[in-house]
Amino acid sequence: MSQIVEAGRTVVHRALDRAGRGWSKLQERRPLSVDLLESDDAYLVVFDAPGVRGEDVSVRFRDHTVEVQLDRFRDFYEDAELVFPGRGLELTGTATLPEDADVTPRGAAATVTTHGTLEVEIPKDDAVESVDVVDADDAH
């Protein structure tokens, strides 16, 4: 009887692992959710970025488009087995600024917030292609 129970457990674990990996890959193919805000002085692009640190984020600016890549990592827990690996680890997103936006990324700032977003502020005016990223705790 215990062999049947163990075989059933193995089948369930394999199914959950396969389903979790599929869900993870689906997340990696979908672009990150994003909001685009505008003030008199700047554009603010806000991406969902749960579970990342500043050093795990890449932000680029190309042809009026903000491109981000997030590399997340799974923490390992002693005495615990990963049954459903459902979180995507390599996430990307883009936000296109309005065609008439007069911006370049010089002076841009990117912050990973404590509530799981990446905020990219781009001043209206000036030029560079990459943006430094900091954690919200380090920004103050």
What is the tens place of the pLDDT at every residue in 60-69?
998 889 999 9
In the chain, % helix, strand, coil (3-state, to 5) comes to 25, 35, 40
Span 76-92, average pLDDT: 72
Span 122-132, average pLDDT: 64
Instruction: Kindly tell me if the per-residue pLDDT of 128 is higher than 70.
Output: no
pLDDT tens digits along 20-59 = 555 555 565 788 899 999 998 899 999 998 888 899 999 9
pTM listed for this prediction: 0.68
